[in-house]
Amino acid sequence: MNPHILNMIALRKTEFTPDIAILEQSQFQLVFVCDDLMLAGMNYKIIADCSAKVARAFTQRPYNFYRKNTDGSSVVMNPSGKVETGCYKIKGEVHSVLSSEMIRLDNHYQNGVQFKRYRTKLLYPTTPSGVIENKSADGSPLPHTLQGTKRFTLPERVDPIEAWMYIGLRSYWDDLLDGGFAFEPVRIVEPEKERNWLPKYYHWQNTK
């Protein structure tokens, strides 16, 4: 085939992924998804065969998060202005995606046109637990009633991680979001237990 045509095909394939050469310097990319690309979402099939879920996480900073009334598609937006009205952290999933397949995600989100892929700081909460065997301090046998194992749970810890995230571009979305007729805020959830780092958060869920 004509080299010029091959070059045009390659450019078209990476139209929304101009940094593919940099991405492919690593085998995998961590991506934060919080919409219908999550495991239970209708578009998870886009990355099902080239990714693995590695954690659940929350955005470190607050965003506006909207959902389209007709098809459930959604858009995350940076807050505009100094007043962060309706801004909350977002709960989602961190997936490890093959770098060579980031093109799929960039095409889906039209990276640079509808959305922009950014490195985003996330909060990864865990509650360490395990099982230990009951022992005396000096190693002497314990009474029969105290022998055996016991389960322990440590206080929750929250670690920072970083991943790619797709944020809506105002040049594309502002006119579509104005008025609130086609879009509404994603469901806002209050944690079951009090957490000083998480007062409320957005959580996208299927409507099927």
Asked if residue 202 has pLDDT above 50, the reply is yes
CA distances from 201 to 47, 59, 74, 163, 195 (A): 25, 9, 15, 19, 11
Rg, C-alpha atoms of the chain: 22
Highest CATH level, class, for 10-126+158-202 = alpha beta
Alpha helices in the chain (DSSP H): 3-13, 20-23, 102-109, 170-177
pTM here is 0.84
Give whichever of 6-15, 30-39, 68-77 has the largest mean pLDDT. Answer: 30-39
Q: Where are the domains of the chain?
A: 10-126+158-202
Q: Stretch 28-48: mean pLDDT, rounded?
A: 96
Angle at 78 between CA 187 and CA 120, to 5 degrees: 95
DSSP state at residue 80: P
pLDDT for 123 equals 98
